Every structure is written in structure tokens, then in C-alpha cells.
Structure 1
Amino acid sequence: MIKNVIFDVGQVLVAWEPVEAMRALGMDEETVRAVADATVHTSDWDEADRGALSDEELLTGFIRKAPAYEAQIRNFWEHVNRAIYPFPYVGEWMRTLKDKGYRLYILSNYGAWTYAKTKDQSLGFLKDVDGALFSFEVK
């Protein structure tokens, strides 16, 4: 008998759309490519999820990869929450599972900076889970 349900976060409970967020911030396609290639398309992003880099190290590394785009990188950095938003079904889905007696858990790769910028707006479902473990917390 199933008693527990464990969810990933990205592309299960929330969308992860960094390129769309960059476009929404007014970046043209060349800038989007440069900023994405210097940030979310790097191994540094994975290291952030792993909790291996501080926020300062991460941002400095991004800028070092594309110094001509520093302003745009900083803009995306400050507005990373625009890249992450809950799917419309999440609230009802979680409540339905809880009402049926399932215990709900989160196990997900997620960076500390991204978590700090999105926990209130996009991760509201955390109040409905019985436990959560994010990669940045355990390295």
C-alpha cells in the first residue's frame, strides 16, 4: 500500500523557464544566448544546486564568463524568480493527495540563491508537505 509520495520540484511542481524570463526582462536573442550560456547552461549552475559555491562565487563566475553582459547577468540574477512558477494544478493536486491520506515529500536539486528568491512566490506548496530535502542543504 502506497503511503508516501515523493516529488521532484523542477518541471514537476514548478516550471523552469530561464530563457523566457530573460526575454521578459527585455533581452534580445543574442543577449539571451550569451546570458544563458554564462549562467544556467554552465556546470557552475549545477554546482550551485549542489551547494558547492557561495552566491558570491556563483555570480562572480557567471560574470567572468561573459563580462560584456554583466548588467544583464545581474538583472537575471536578481529576477531569477521570473523563471520559476508553480504549475496551475499543483495546489489542488497536493490537497487531493493529502485528503486521501498520503504523506508528501520533496526531494529536489535546487540552489540556495534560487530557493531564497522563489520560496515565497513559487514554492508555496511547501507548507503542504510532510518534509523536504533540497540538494543545496545537504551538499
Structure 2
Amino acid sequence: MIKHVIFDLGNVLLNFKPRQFLKKYTNDSERIDQFIKKVTSSDKWLMLDRGLVPVSEIEDNLKEKYPEDIDLLDPFFKNWLEMLTPIKKNVKILYMLKQRGYSLYALSNFIKEAFEYVTQKYTFFELFDGMVISYRVKTIKPEEKIFSILIKRYNLSPKTCLYIDDTKRFIAVGESIGFNVIHYDSAVKLTDEFEIYGMLND
């Protein structure tokens, strides 16, 4: 029986689409792909998720390393938090689950500056009974340690948990731990998935 629902944040409850965001500054799709590899898909970005360095340090480092991209790096680092907007249809489900008595948790790789921004801006974070965020615990998904922290901190039994994430390799770790899982993408209708578990039925 499901009692607890664990949500990833990025691209499950909050949009994070750098490719789409960068189209405001260039129409060169190849350049956008290269920029993403250099920045948001880089090891340096993972250092931010781990909470090891501030965004300002990574920004300075990347501008020094890639001066040819300064025309993209400047607006990106000035405005990137604007990407983090709610996925309204999924946020609505948080309220539905809360009303039905489920406890809600967040388990997410997230940067300190971004997390402070979204938690101040969006009230739905008040619905969570607990959150384990990568920069706070200095470990990231798919490392099993971050899952273990969540389980131990909130005394959760994996078989009573339903875990939703948009990344397959993170889902695989959750499944190996014993979570029930939903691999989310934009084509998935979460209400249908929850109804399979009998969670949103009246």
C-alpha cells in the first residue's frame, strides 16, 4: 500500500529546459548543443549540484575557459533562474495527494541558489513533509547514499513509497532499493499513473 510519494523536482514539478531557454539568444542549434555540454551537462555543473562551489565561481571559470561563448554565458547566468517555472498540471496533483492523506517528499539534484529562489517564489513547497536536496547533503543521484538519507531521515519503508523521476538511471536505483516507481516524461499523464495505484480514485 502506497503511503508516501517522492518527487524529483526538475522536469517533474519545475521546468528546466536550457535548450529551449537558449533559443532566445541564438538560433544555432549546434551551438546550443555545444553550450549545454560545456555548461549544464558538465562536471562543473555537478559540482553545483553537490554544493561544493557557488554559481559565481563556476560562471567565472566558464567565462575564462570559453571566452568565445561570452555572448551566451552572460545572459545565461544572468537569467537562468527564469527557466524554473512550475509544471502546473503536476503541481496540482501535489494538492490532490495531500488532501487524500499521502505524505510528500522531494528528492532532487538541485543547486543552492536555484533552490533558494524556487522555495521563496512558489508556495507548493510548503506541502512537502520532507526534502532531501543534493547541495545540502553533498551527494547526488544516482548515488545510493542520497536515497538512503531520505529513507533513514524520514523512517520510510521503500515498499510503501512511490518515486517519480524523469531520469531512467535514477529510477533504476529507486527500483533496486524497493520503491514503486513512475518514469515521468512530458507524454506521461501522472493522474493516470496514480489511478493505476488507486490513489486518486474518489
Return the TM-score normalized by structure 2.
0.61
Name the CA shift for 1:91/1:37 in 2 (closer, same or farther; >3 Å).
closer
Amino acid at match of 1:64: E
Alpha-carbon distance between aligned partners in 1 of 2:95 and 2:85, rounded to the nearest angstrom? 18
Contact 2:13 2:91 in 1 (8 A): no
CA contact (8 A) 1:13 1:90 kept: yes
In structure 2, the partner of 1:56 is: 56
- Which protein is bigger by CA-based radius of gyration? 2
1:42 offset after TM fit, Å? 0.9
The residue type equivalent to 2:105 in the other structure is Y
Q: Which runs of 5+ in 2 are unaligned?
A: 139-202
Q: CA RMSD in A?
A: 2.0
Task: Tell me how far 1:14 sits from its aligned partner.
Answer: 1.8
Paired residues for 1:63-102 under 5 Å:
63-102=63-102
Distance 1:118 1:23, change over 3 A: farther
Cα distance in 2 for residues equivalent to 1:102 and 1:113: 29
The worse-fitting range, judged by mean Cα deviation, of 91-100 and 79-88 is 79-88
Alignment-derived partner of residue 127 in structure 2: 128
Instruction: Give how far 1:34 is off.
Output: 4.5
Q: 1:73 to 1:91 in 2, by over 3 A?
A: same
2-side partners of 1:41 and 1:2: how far apart? 34
Unaligned runs of 5+ in 1: none
State the one-letter code of the partner of 2:112: A
Quickly say closer, same or farther: Cα 1:75–1:12, change in 2 above 3 A. same
8 A contact 1:31–1:69 mirrored in 2 = no
Q: In the TM superposition, what is the alpha-carbon distance from 1:50 to its structure 2 partner?
A: 0.8
1:27 CA drift (Å): 2.2
TM-score for the superposition, normalised by structure 1: 0.85
Residue number in structure 2 paired with 1:43: 43
Q: Is the 8 A contact 1:34 1:66 kept in 2?
A: no
Matched letter for residue 3 of structure 1: K
Which residue type is aligned with residue 87 of structure 1? I
Alignment of 1:24-39 (within 5 A): 24=24, 26-29=25-28, 31-39=31-39
Segments of 4+ moved more than 6 angstroms: none
Query: Structure with the greater relative contact order (CA < 8 A, sep ≥ 6): 1 or 2?
Result: 1
Amino acid at match of 1:90: N
Give how far 1:54 is off.
2.0
